[in-house]
Amino acid sequence: MKNLTTTSLRVRENQLWILDQQALPQQSDWLPCADVSALVDHIRTLRVRGAPLIGLSASLLLALLAEGGMPQPQLHQALKTLRESRPTAVNLMNNLDRMKVALEQSDFIPKLVNEALRLVDEDKALCASIADHGAGLVKPGSCLLTHCNTGGLATAGVGTALGVISRAYQQGNVQQVWVDETRPLLQGGRLTAWELGERGIPYQLICDSMAASLMALGKVDAIWVGADRIAANGDVANKIGTYSLAVLAKYHGIPFYVAAPHTTHDPHCPNGAAISIEQRDPHEVTGVSGSFGSVQWAPLNANVYNPAFDVTPAALISGWVLDVGVVMPEQVSEGIFQTSLK
Ligand code: MRU
């Protein structure tokens, strides 16, 4: 396969490398990813994360394994194992469904390589279209709030919600960004803060619990988040803490936008209640760990509830900003998400 570089993925001499998103921003460590168990481990530990990026990394690895001589039956097993690595983000399943079609061809090696590379190129284009559509909704002088990380680290392109924010900033319409730190794994505090800094966009980092008081003070003009799955009724699964922001936005009369590629839409999932929500290790809540080491503050035997995602009901969403255009609430009521968007 030809060499390839995105913010957080590389292919060099037929080997996949991932930028360790647990080590950022203190360290930029590129980790090799030679087999399925390595990638599954990187995905489960969130060294590779973000709905689009998970799907792209799995597709690239599959293509590289095929080029390296792995036989078709083993590739089918590899695809199945990768598909099960994280349950909530549907981009992984959607990308691997396309890879499966390629794998079923007699000339599966070039077909898999072409499909994986096409998925990467498509994701860049999807991000650019989302940014185009979304930036038009940002009013001059806006202070925007975002949650988790939806930037170049989580995609092959400029990102989804963070892509919109970046484009609107380039157009002179963003005064500053409020960045939710995003407990428990701090994707906002570690990754979004880093990306906004790299892009030269002014931001202030806040603890998640500070968002309500900022809204009450009139300091948030709109909220922009990403998505891991959009159900047929418009409900959205995204990083834990998204739902509380949407409730707060409704109370304070603040627009709440979801930005995502059409690969995040799942017409087979009727509503948010049907979305599988990943439950994660209690240690993520009882303390914190990273390249700096780990700290535990709760009692060693503390009982913990740790869902990685929550569901925001469609009724709280002002607009779904997709690569195919902006979907408005009345279009959702008319059933736009009940069939495939492409
Ligand atoms: O657990 P993570 O860090 O993979 O969760 C990421 C999110 O919730 C993002 O908002 C979502 O995947 C969209 S990324 C463009």
Query: DSSP per residue over 19-55, as a string?
Result: E-TTTTTT---EEEE-SHHHHHHHHHTTSS-SHHHHH
With a threshold of 0.95, tell me whether the complex ipTM lies above it: yes
CA distance 305 to 314: 25
CA distance 126 to 122: 6
Helix (H, G, I), strand (E, B) or coil at 311: strand
Q: How far apart are the first and last CA of the chain?
A: 28
| Interstrand relation of 287-290 and 325-327 (parallel, antiparallel or unpaired) | unpaired
- Name residue, tokens 């949407």: 246
| Predicted pLDDT at 293 | 83
Are residues 116 and 234 part of one domain? Answer: no
**Which residues have C-beta within 8 Å of that of residue 119, sequence separation ≥ 6?**
55, 56, 59, 95, 98
Provide the 8-state DSSP code for 138. Answer: P
Nearest to 91 by CA among 258, 257, 236, 260: 260
Are residues 121 and 142 part of one domain? Answer: no
CA distance 93 to 270: 17
Query: For a substitution probing ligand 1, which of 45, 86, 126, 148 has the most ligand atoms within 8 Å of its CB?
Result: 148
Please give the distance, rounded to the nearest whole angstrom, from the Cα atom of residue 73 to the centre of ligand 1: 31
Are residues 150 and 212 part of one domain? Answer: yes
What does each of the 342 residues of the chain score in pLDDT, given as a tens digit? 999 999 999 999 999 999 999 999 999 999 999 999 999 999 999 999 999 999 999 999 999 999 999 999 999 999 999 999 999 999 999 999 999 999 999 999 999 999 999 999 999 999 999 999 999 999 999 999 999 999 999 999 999 999 999 999 999 999 999 999 999 999 999 999 999 999 999 999 999 999 999 999 999 999 999 999 999 999 999 999 999 999 999 999 999 999 999 999 999 999 999 999 999 999 999 998 877 788 999 998 999 999 999 999 999 999 999 999 999 999 999 999 999 998
Are residues 235 and 142 part of one domain? Answer: yes
- Asked whether 189 and 179 are in contact (CB, 8 A), the reply is yes
Please give the distance, rounded to the nearest whole angstrom, from the Cα atom of residue 150 to the centre of ligand 1: 6
**Cα Rg of the chain, angstroms:** 19
Task: Tell whether 296 is in a known binding site.
Answer: no
Helix (H, G, I), strand (E, B) or coil at 9: strand
Task: Tell whether 183 is in a known binding site.
Answer: no
Task: Tell whether 190 is in a known binding site.
Answer: no
Task: Tell whether 303 is in a known binding site.
Answer: no
| Predicted pLDDT at 315 | 98
Query: DSSP per residue over 235-259, as a string?
Result: -EEEETTHHHHHHHHHHHT--EEEE
In ligand 1, the atom with minimum distance to the C-alpha of 260 is 15
Please give the distance, rounded to the nearest whole angstrom, from the Cα atom of residue 194 to the centre of ligand 1: 16
Query: For a substitution probing ligand 1, which of 22, 150, 312 has the most ligand atoms within 8 Å of its CB?
Result: 150
Angstrom CA distances, 113 to 15, 30, 254, stand at: 13, 22, 44
| Predicted pLDDT at 292 | 78
Of 228, 235, 266, 323, catalytic: 228
In ligand 1, the atom with minimum distance to the C-alpha of 54 is 4
Task: Tell whether 290 is in a known binding site.
Answer: no
β-sheet bridge partners, residue 296: 287
Q: End of a domain among 99, 128, 157?
A: 128
| Predicted pLDDT at 289 | 83
Are residues 171 and 277 part of one domain? Answer: yes
Are residues 78 and 24 part of one domain? Answer: yes
Strand order across the beta sheet in which 229-230 lies: 229-230, 236-239, 309-312
| Predicted pLDDT at 55 | 98
Q: Whose CA is nearest to atom 8 of ligand 1?
A: 239
| Predicted pLDDT at 80 | 98
| Predicted pLDDT at 342 | 80
Are residues 321 and 186 part of one domain? Answer: yes
Task: Tell whether 187 is in a known binding site.
Answer: yes
Are residues 167 and 110 part of one domain? Answer: no
Pocket of ligand 1 (CB under 6 A): 46, 49-52, 89, 148, 150, 154-155, 160, 187, 226-228, 238-239, 308
CATH number of the domain at 57, please.
1.20.120.420
Break the chain down into helix, strand, coil percent, rounded to 5: 40, 20, 40
Please give the distance, rounded to the nearest whole angstrom, from the Cα atom of residue 147 to the centre of ligand 1: 9
Are residues 73 and 8 part of one domain? Answer: yes
Stretch (H or E) spanning 177: strand 174-180
* Residue 228 appears among annotated catalytic residues: yes
CATH number of the domain at 151, please.
3.40.50.10470
Domain count, the chain: 2
Domain that holds residue 298: 137-338
- Name residue, tokens 């989302």: 130
Stretch (H or E) spanning 18: strand 15-19
Query: What predicted TM-score, i.e. pTM, was given to this entire model?
Result: 0.97
CA distance 174 to 176: 6
Please give the distance, rounded to the nearest whole angstrom, from the Cα atom of residue 9 to the centre of ligand 1: 16
Q: End of a domain among 128, 148, 164?
A: 128
Q: End of a domain among 128, 151, 173?
A: 128
Please give the distance, rounded to the nearest whole angstrom, from the Cα atom of residue 244 to the centre of ligand 1: 16
Are residues 213 and 165 part of one domain? Answer: yes
Are residues 290 and 163 part of one domain? Answer: yes
The structure tokens listed for 342 are: 């492409």
Query: For a substitution probing ligand 1, which of 49, 123, 126 has the most ligand atoms within 8 Å of its CB?
Result: 49
In ligand 1, the atom with minimum distance to the C-alpha of 49 is 4
Are residues 98 and 11 part of one domain? Answer: yes
